[in-house]
Chains A and B, each alone.
Chain A
Amino acid sequence: MATAALSTVQLAPGQAAWRRFRRHRLALAGGVIILVLVLGSAFGPYLLPFDDTYIDIMKRFAPPLSGAHILGTDELGRDVLARLMMGARVSLSIGFVAMMIAMAVGIVVGAFAGFYGGLIGAILMRLVDAVLCFPTIFLLLALAALTEPGLVTTTVLIAATAWMAVARVVEAQVRSLREREFAVAALAFGSSNLRIMFRELVPNAIAPIVVAATLNVAKAILLESYVSYLGYGIQPPAASWGNMLNNAQIYLTNAPWLAIAPGLAITLAVTSFNFLGDGLRDALDPRMNIP
């Protein structure tokens, strides 16, 4: 009763969520870092005097802060900062695009499975379970070995290993939401099943979907670097954080900055997305009351 009395002055759901999110310091920091990474990769390369593939054989292995090379140069004298920024473009866009594809597939599969249930639901969800059983990294490498490596294939492959978690979240949400009275009311006033699924039910599952999405971006970035590190992903001379690490391992003792820069970038991006996901999960959960 106490809370009911308090709720006379109600906040819009969005406002309340923003309040809860603001209290989550790490998530806020994560959000800022992601913003910096995105802006840096988008505009940074234009601000540098060096191209990421420009080879200056005279200045091989220049250490960081030597002359104009802020993060030094690699074994071919290419500027590490420029490569890091171009690599961020690749890694981040793979992360976002793979997340989008995984979301789309996961939401559709989950919505159909949850809404229809029964045989259709059982078949779809057992398919999800089956795919989920493969060890992700081996599945990815096996598939990568069979296809032409590149930006598009890497993205699609990563999406193919990430949609199942989304499908499960959406299926559970839709299955419980379809019993709610507003869904029954929509059925009674003649909405088609597709309309009920995607206009009424899925928007109400948006909170867990958004959380799954952010965590998926982190996972995709990590997977991209695994695959590129192992040589199956983005091919040189194009830069990605993963193949920069791959390059760096031979020179680890005499040019450690080659490994540290992309390593830090991956760590920073992945933890930021994870924190952001945590923050969104708490912020979008209406059961979390502002104390």
Chain B
Amino acid sequence: MSTGATKPEQLVAEAPVLSVSGLTTSFMLDERRWIPVVRNVSFDLAPRETVAIVGESGSGKSVTALSIMRLIPKEIGRVEGRVTLAGRDLLTLPEASMKDIRGNDVAMIFQEPMTSLNPVLTIGFQIAEALIQHRGLSRAAAEAETIRLLDRVRIPAARSRFHEHPHRFSGGMRQRVMIAMALACRPKLLIADEPTTALDVTIQAQILELLKELQQEEGMSILFITHDMGVVAEIADRTVVMYGGQAVETDATARIFATPSHPYTRALLAAVPRLGSMDGCARPMRFPIVDKVTGSSDEPAETPDTVSTAERPLLEVAGLTTRFPIRSGLFGKVSGRVHAVENVSFTLRAGETLALVGESGCGKSTTGRSILKLTEPDSGTVLIDGQDVLAMNGRTLRDVRKHMQIIFQDPFASLNPRMSVGTAIAAPLLANGLASASQARDKVADLLVRVGLAADMAARFPHEFSGGQRQRICIARALALGPKLIVADEAVSALDVSVKAQVVNLMLDLQAGMGLAYLFISHDIAVVERMSHRVAVMYLGEIVEIGPRASVFGNPQHPYTKKLMVAVPVPDPSRRGTRRDVSNDEIRSPVRAPDYQPPVRQYREVSPGHVVQVWGEEWSG
């Protein structure tokens, strides 16, 4: 499976499958102005080669793919240049022949497979339909071929899942179905637009592995669009780096990673967290910030020691359990329970960052919300400064919440679109009666400056800001009440890499300056390694391993921790293919029968503070 650095050179000799030259796509802004979104992009794609287009949001990478497929509506967009697929210029073909090419010669898969599948038709029917239409097979032959395809994309029990509807499939399995559909017509070229972005790391690793295997078997070329340098290193032979609508650097992937020439590429690579880069370093570390124009970089320093040791921990959580009943039938009888959080205990000191890591559905977000009593837990205790949060209600609960604030993943959703950001940041002060209107205004100006924005931005509305700026606004609002603890629920996950690095740096600076404690909830293990003092790994609602970050990542004990770490894509093409052992398991569900009794768990101390759950038979083999 290894693809050495010599492969691209051999391939270039063959005639390219896809050749793009001088591609420029403009959108019509209003009546007469055309704004170029993609400018003069050129690259070739050889047979059996994978080219990645990598860039941050708004860099024009998706528009490039849509332009190649001529999927930009004529009324709003104009595509110029040459796109040659196996000798034919796609941009001058009549629409009828273009329809023929889409699906037959070129197939596409997207980020969110559910939107591409018809929810009321069975999976098997939808694939068979594509086969009948594009390859003219009979119904019986198409169904046989469908089952073969579902087998090819490693869907377990393909024959029995043929008649199931899309909602019965998990995200990863749906993406496999989309790949099966794309393969149905044996395309020469597969365009994959962020196909793994919405998936968990272990599932992402499976899909990448599958794509590589299928490429070998089918001999197709892949144009892979992504924002994730780790994924690029994992899959691409050659890479096109896009920035502001232009291809700033095009080269073999290995060379781009080893000797990036363009300043932007250097800035992007510097901002990519690398799992394992923090060995021998106990405290969190800032990201280096590379200037996108000059390419000069600052030297990141280890943060000062912020963790208080003497006193009692700021936050003590013991036996926290949150379950959600699933009701069904006419009288709403409880037919099952989601065991979202199951007997979770940990402590957090002032000035410390504890990361909760795990995959979707593992209960890490519910844990965060339960601590603030935004979700009502079933049992357990949460003490902040020795006060029991879960015993409080009404007035006292509102008072204690001043000490703990929460930041969410999507900063746009967590800001009221009809409130100016100044009003939004002042809202906590006014709601608690802590400041007069003029005091609040001064405080807002102060907070905006503190999170790296300008004081005069207070009058603007959330939609006028970029994603990173919005998250800074959310941080400013969380800081308004002077909290001691901030629960950051995937706070940097939705941000572009370089912005992510800046927001992480801001959070570290604020911790150093104000002695904040963070409960940092994330699925992104590489970022967690960079910014946390301690780590707790969650699986199906339980903490399976907890301890100092260096100890947990340096010496992982629990099989799940190991599995999670193996799945993280490494932004280093030279290490590709050396450590792959990916199973096709799905993430298991935390839904249990109403009478389910969770087993009593045993824990073992590996080293001081590093505790691991003793695991049972389900993890052997």
Contacts and interface: CB of A to CB of B under 8 A. Distances in A.
Interface string B402-438: 1001101010011111110000000110011000000
Nearest to A183: B416
A186 B193 CA distance: 36
Given A1-B63, A185-B408, A190-B481, A13 B414 contact: no
Interface in A14-41: none
Given A184-B374, A185-B408, A189-B477, A2 B63 contact: yes
Interface string A190-208: 1110010001100110100
Interface string B69-96: 0001101110000000000000000000
Nearest to B193: A1
B374 A188 contact: yes
B58 A181 contact: no
Contacts of B399: 190
B595 interface: no
Given A5-B63, A191-B427, A181 B374 contact: no
B481 A12 contact: no
A190 B62 contact: no
A10 B30 CA distance: 12
A185 B477 contact: yes
B432 A5 contact: no
Interface in A220-249: none
A182 B415 contact: yes
Nearest to A196: B431
B66 A185 contact: no
A203 B405 contact: no
A181 B418 contact: no
A273 to B, nearest CB: 25
A2 B27 contact: yes
A181 B408 contact: yes
Interface residues of B, number: 46
Of A6, A187, A190, A206, the most chain B CB neighbours within 10 A belong to A190
B29 interface: yes
A206 B418 contact: yes
B217 interface: no
Contacts of B418: 203-204, 206
Contact of A189 (B29, B35, B427): B427
A187 B374 contact: yes
A47 interface: no
B463 interface: yes
Contacts of B431: 186, 189-192, 195
A4 interface: yes
Contacts of A185: 406, 408, 414, 474, 477
Contacts of A199: 427
Interface string B465-479: 000000000100110
B27 A188 contact: no
Nearest to A11: B463
Contacts of A8: 35, 58
A49 interface: no
Contacts of A1: 62-63, 66, 193
A135 interface: no
Of B37, B76, B416, B427, the most chain A CB neighbours within 10 A belong to B416
Given A6-B29, A189-B428, 18 more contacts: A1-B63, A2-B62, A2-B63, A2-B77, A6-B27, A9-B35, A12-B461, A182-B414, A186-B431, A188-B372, A188-B406, A189-B427, A189-B478, A190-B401, A190-B428, A199-B427, A200-B419, A204-B416
28 contacts: A2-B27, A2-B62, A2-B63, A5-B27, A6-B27, A6-B29, A9-B29, A12-B461, A13-B461, A13-B463, A182-B416, A185-B406, A186-B416, A186-B427, A186-B431, A188-B372, A188-B405, A188-B406, A189-B428, A189-B431, A189-B432, A189-B477, A189-B478, A189-B480, A190-B431, A191-B427, A192-B431, A200-B419
Interface of B: 27, 29, 35, 37, 57-58, 60, 62-63, 66, 72-73, 75-77, 193, 369, 372, 374, 398-399, 401-402, 405-406, 408, 410, 413-419, 427-428, 431-432, 461, 463-464, 474, 477-478, 480-481
